[in-house]
Each structure stands twice: as structure tokens, then as C-alpha cells.
Amino acid sequence: MSPNRSCKKNTLAAGVVAGRKASRVSCLVARFFGAAVLAAGLFGASPAFAQETSVYLRALHSGKCLHVNGASAANGAAITQWDCANQPHITWRLRYLGGGSMYLVADHSGKCAQVNGGGTANSVQVTQWDCQPVPHVIWRLDAAPSGLFIVNRKSGKCLHVEGASTRNGGDISQYACIDQLNVQWTIVPVQ
């Protein structure tokens, strides 16, 4: 059965968030986590799920995961892609803020993914910084053709792997939300 067909049958996921794009996103997230978990927290009133569950943010084109370079806990540390491993600098928490907005919080440092300097151009580097209620530190999930877009609130641009790199250490920046796999992600629970 195709993912879209199973999503249409998943009325709980489709009803969690109003709107066409949000319904597809909630359906995709329900497929990754299960509809009960989705309803309990990611898009619901309770942020408990987002604060307590570690996930991998996996790039569709490479299968590699978002990670903080060198396991640094410093503000400004680069975020790159790396082989997915159950290490706290490669796992993240989606801290729900309400209205579909969230922080992407690195498990090892408690710091958030942010667009460096609050830039709005394509290819501005994504780094970690203290979690603050400012637009360049806040993200949302949107439906993408093959996965999810992770969209920055300030710029409206998506998290992406620079140059479609498939190597460990490939830089993460923001870019226009286009139908390319290096701009699309999946959310995978840490087992």
C-alpha cells in the first residue's frame, strides 16, 4: 500500500491538525511514531512527547543524520551530517512551542539548531546556539514530496545538506524548499 493511501485511511492523523499541508505532515509523523504518540504530543496540546523522545533527523538523499560537529557544546558549533548512531550529539528532541513551531534541541548540549546570524539567504550555515524565542532558532515541519521539509521561521527556508553531499561532515545550511532529496528529511525514533 502506498504511503499516501495509508495516510488517507488514518483519520486520527488527518484530524490532528487542520489544513491540507498539516494533515499530510501529521500523517507522515504518525507513520514514523504512531498515531497515538502524535496525538499525545507533537501537534497536540501537550509538549511531553517532544521533550522526552530522542529522534534522528535523517537526510533523504544520503541516509545520514543531523549531528553537532565534534560533539561540541559551544554556541556556534557547526551542524553537519554523519552516520546515524545512538550518540547524544547525533540525536535530537523536537521541543514543541505551540502553533506548529518547535526548537530542534541537541541531546548532548541542550542547545538549539539555528540559522547562523539570523541570515535569510540560501546557504547560510546552521549551527547550534542557546535556545531563545527568536525566529531564526524556531522551526516547523511541512510536507515535502518524499518526506518532510524542516522550515526556519525567520527565513522560510529549509534545512538542507549543502551541495547534496553524501559524505560524513557534509555541511548543513538553509536553502529554498525545493523538490530535491537533500532538502527533505525523515524523523526516526531512537531505538
Residue 53 pLDDT = 86
Alpha helices, DSSP H, located in the chain: 3-9, 11-16, 20-33, 35-37, 48-52
User: Which residues, 6+ apart, have CB-to-CB distance to 19 below 8 Å?
Assistant: none
- pTM attached to this predicted model: 0.79
Give the Cβ contact number of residue 101 at 10 Å.
16
110 conformational bin, left if phi > 0, alpha if psi -120 to 50, beta if neither: left
pLDDT 10s digits, 31-46: 544 433 343 344 443 3
CA pair distance 150, 112, nearest whole angstrom: 14
Q: Is 99 exposed, middle or buried (0-12, 13-18, 19+ CB in 10 A)?
A: exposed
Residue 102 has pLDDT above 90, yes or no: yes
Domains and CATH numbers, the chain: 1-46 (no CATH), 47-189 (2.80.10.50)
Reported as a single tens digit per residue, the pLDDT across 135-148 is: 999 999 999 999 99
pLDDT tens sequence across 162-179? 999 999 999 999 999 999
Does position 7 have pLDDT exceeding 80, yes or no? no
